[in-house]
Structure 1
């Protein structure tokens, strides 16, 4: 049925007067104007009393993480590939087809925290894994996971404030200590995160690092049972902790060098452990960790058997948006999750434009000694 129905009576309206098109034109213009206004609001061109993906990405760049052609965060990494093998118990959790087929192709990326693509592995406190699982029904499950088990803050507004506080003072080249202290005072969860950073082990390899979904998601199985979950990749490799002296000796590229050596001996593996939320657990607040005694289900094994430099690897042109999910998996209402998705898209679009205009090549040439 058409949106508008025009009735003509010999070029005249029912009252005998000529049928003027002006009211219809005005109505159509009004609708088109409303649509344009909506797009402008979503793009952040108007309504500047709210935060946008542009604001977040600009703030991240202002901290010093501005290397054209590279990701704004976790800039240094390598591409990896392999496969995922679900367990027999996985279909109890979700009807997603990645849990139903015997072997699922995986494309991914291992990285370190920070915005410097030439950063030092031995000084990066945070490590990350990003994965794309592609099932044979054409659906994808993308995830971006970190070595920390919870976030320092709970909302996009708080995250933005925290990022802004980390922007270097032009006079000193370092963040203002007073601004950092004010963030800690305002958000007690920041102190909890800092305590994790001080006490969590520095492992000797990506292969021995545990990675966490951090945000919560919903799994729905074939029977319609819906459960809130978080998941993590538990390493099968033995965990060896590095002390300060060992880290210094390890070198700035030791993670990629170690992974290459391990892959020469065979695949590197992680177990997928899915944690089920308890009745009182925070589902939409990723700054609150769930108790360790929550029920966990072993849902499969990740096998990585190939790696490539990210500049030539297939992962380089992939946006690991954590809200690209297959049927049977859905995002929670955690506001940080939606913000991550939007900022990932903004960062991806910027670096693609930079590559297209040659800005990335110019920046790389300047980086050369």
Structure 2
């Protein structure tokens, strides 16, 4: 995973990491955002539709081993799972393609993202710290929509849905590109807690629930993709496509165990929002290179710790 060559991107990425650490504290060895998490192992099986849309190996091989990291928001490693600030939850999927090659899908539990660019997101955080967030939200409808979006606590990581806010291009064998956004849907259905119910939960109820469910059997999800129509905006994560756009199932995955040496492995591996695999290409969304730079810079810090 190479560092971006654009100096401005790296400068903003480093500023974002520093801003997160300024808000949540510096916790060496942990991510500056989504610090608290747990990683599972499983298998992804593609659909026939996925094979038609993309030449990517994970969409064409009979199956692919995966790691899935579930996480809470904030850079606080011990944030209670019942804390409102632990939403939205994260779900990062790593597809292991062999020969130390992999590709990732990064999602979280709301379809909203506050700002179109990394610079805009940095301003969002700076205004949050400065106490001027009210004025900022008044001038930035996308940030207001993100803040106001419902973010209920899930009963389980296995009963939460997760959204990829960025668009990607699936490339078929003829070179045709189809713009999509990912949506990860639980087999168990989306089930959330009320505000009163969540207050009664254990600070680590989500990880404990995950262990209990895995002991009883596999946890299943579908990976769906909303397909853009011609003219839909594909380079702005704050713009939603109309709900009547077609949705296809790209495959399913089953999680069957926790990853061994969980904390050690979480410290080491760095998710990459850029696919870097044949058959899937990034859109022109400016957040993608910025997110990749943030993840890589913070990952280098984490490994050094």
- Pick from 83, 108, 111 the counterpart of residue 68 of structure 2: 108
Please say if 1:291 is aligned against 2:242: yes
Q: Is the 8 A contact 2:160 2:185 kept in 1?
A: yes
Q: Is the 8 A contact 2:44 2:64 kept in 1?
A: yes
CA RMSD of aligned residues (A): 2.2
Give the match's secondary structure for 2:39. Answer: strand
- Pick from 289, 296, 301 the counterpart of residue 345 of structure 1: 296
TM-superposed CA distance for 1:51, in Å, is 4.3
- Partner residue of 1:66? 26
Q: In structure 1, how many angstroms separate the alpha carbons of the residues matched to 2:47 and 2:241?
A: 24
Q: In structure 1, how many angstroms separate the alpha carbons of the residues matched to 2:258 and 2:160?
A: 17
- Pick from 45, 53, 61 the counterpart of residue 13 of structure 2: 53
- Partner residue of 2:177? 226
Q: In structure 1, how many angstroms separate the alpha carbons of the residues matched to 2:293 and 2:121?
A: 14
**Where do 5+ consecutive residues of structure 1 fail to align?**
1-38, 168-174, 355-369
Q: In structure 2, how many angstroms separate the alpha carbons of the residues matched to 1:182 and 1:239?
A: 34
Q: In structure 2, how many angstroms separate the alpha carbons of the residues matched to 1:223 and 1:246?
A: 52
Q: Is the 8 A contact 1:74 1:128 kept in 2?
A: yes
- Partner residue of 2:108? 146
TM-superposed CA distance for 1:109, in Å, is 1.0
Q: In structure 2, how many angstroms separate the alpha carbons of the residues matched to 1:235 and 1:327?
A: 27
- Pick from 119, 128, 145 the counterpart of residue 192 of structure 1: 145
What is the TM-score with the length of structure 1 in the denominator?
0.77
Compared CA separation, residues 328 and 162, structure 1 to 2 (3 A): same
Give the match's secondary structure for 1:119. Answer: coil
Please say if 1:253 is aligned against 2:204: yes
TM-superposed CA distance for 1:166, in Å, is 2.5
Deviations 1:182-230 (A, max 9, x none): 210221111211221xx34432110011111110111101121111111
Compared CA separation, residues 309 and 253, structure 1 to 2 (3 A): farther
- Partner residue of 1:264? 215
Q: Is the 8 A contact 2:160 2:189 kept in 1?
A: no
Q: Is the 8 A contact 1:156 1:339 kept in 2?
A: yes
TM-superposed CA distance for 1:288, in Å, is 1.1
- Partner residue of 2:59? 99
Deviations 1:31-63 (A, max 9, x none): xxxxxxxx9x9585xx79x94322121111111
Please say if 1:122 is aligned against 2:75: no
Please say if 1:133 is aligned against 2:99: no
Compared CA separation, residues 346 and 136, structure 1 to 2 (3 A): closer
Larger relative contact order, structure 1 or 2 (CA cutoff 8 Å, min sep 6):
2
TM-superposed CA distance for 1:114, in Å, is 0.6
Q: Is the 8 A contact 1:65 1:73 kept in 2?
A: no
Q: In structure 2, how many angstroms separate the alpha carbons of the residues matched to 1:346 and 1:137?
A: 24
What is the TM-score with the length of structure 2 in the denominator?
0.92
Give the match's secondary structure for 2:33. Answer: coil
Q: How many aligned residue pairs are there? A: 301
**Where do 5+ consecutive residues of structure 2 fail to align?**
none
Deviations 1:82-105 (A, max 9, x none): 110111111111010111111101
- Give 1 or 2 for the bigger CA radius of gyration: 1
